Amino acid sequence: MVSTKITSSSVAEIDNKLKTFNSPMVKIEYLENCLKQMLPNDASRYCHLQLADLYAQRLMYGPASRHMDNAADTAVTFKDKTVYYLKEINFLLKMNDFLMIDKAYKKAMLCSNNNAEKDSLKTFLKREMMVLAEEYEKKNKRSSAILIYERLISMPITNEAEKKELMAKVASLSSKMGRIKEAVRYEQMMQHPIEKRKSNDPDDEARKVSLNDLGLEMV
């Protein structure tokens, strides 16, 4: 049986030891053991990033997203934090975990320095959600596609024209699934202006939360 006993704590030492293991599960066990001891910040971040990748390769997106979130916590620049939060969002999307997606998105927004960066984050999230929904459609996973389209309709990252297009998609998919009442409801919704929601804007929610509340530190 391969030993995963901890004998090192620097990035170089952990990396060298990791290369001696062939099995992904043994690598995971070793890295998880590393994180049970006190590590320098860079070594902790390295372990979290490696674990996120290893778990994702095995389609274990729950632990992959948690380790990517921890990697973001240990990042020393807002740029790196944002990159890690976006990767976390990718993992969470594969589980349709919208609650955690909202949290990761808000953290990423707090790391943005200007409106251009915020707009890029909105575009990223909208694109990734659309790509996944379209993949579901191709695989005839219509309920999963509808779930994402409905979520996008309720989010401020889509404008009125986009919401109408999404409603048309939901109506069409619902009709194909025999959900006639839902199809008719969305067709009727398309005929009216989109009502503005009072407090569902992630930007507004993000502004109500401090960096300390979300576990971020000024750099």
pLDDT at 4: 58
pLDDT of residue 9: 80
Q: How far apart are CA 8 and CA 99, in angstroms?
A: 37
Question: Is there a contact between 156 and 202 (Cβ–Cβ < 8 Å)?
Answer: yes
Domains annotated for the chain, with CATH where assigned, are 59-214 (1.25.40)
Report the candidate in 77, 73, 37 with the shortest Cα–Cα distance to residue 52.
Answer: 73
Give the per-residue pLDDT at 113: 86
Identify the pLDDT of residue 67. 98
> Can you give the pLDDT at residue 5?
65
pLDDT of the residue at 209: 38
The pLDDT, as a whole number, for residue 81 is: 96
DSSP state of 197: P
Q: What angle do CA 91, 93, 95 make, to 5 degrees?
A: 85
Q: Quote the pLDDT of residue 147.
A: 93
Write the single-letter amino acid at 81. K
Distance, CA of 1 to chain centre: 36
How confident is the prediction along the chain (219 residues), in pLDDT tens digits per residue? 455 566 568 999 999 999 999 999 999 999 999 999 899 999 999 999 999 999 999 999 999 999 999 999 999 999 999 999 999 999 999 998 999 999 999 999 999 888 999 999 999 999 999 999 999 999 999 999 999 999 999 998 999 999 999 999 999 999 999 999 999 999 999 888 776 544 444 444 443 334 344 344 433
What is the pLDDT, as a whole number, of residue 191? 87
Alpha-carbon span 108 to 81, nearest angstrom: 7
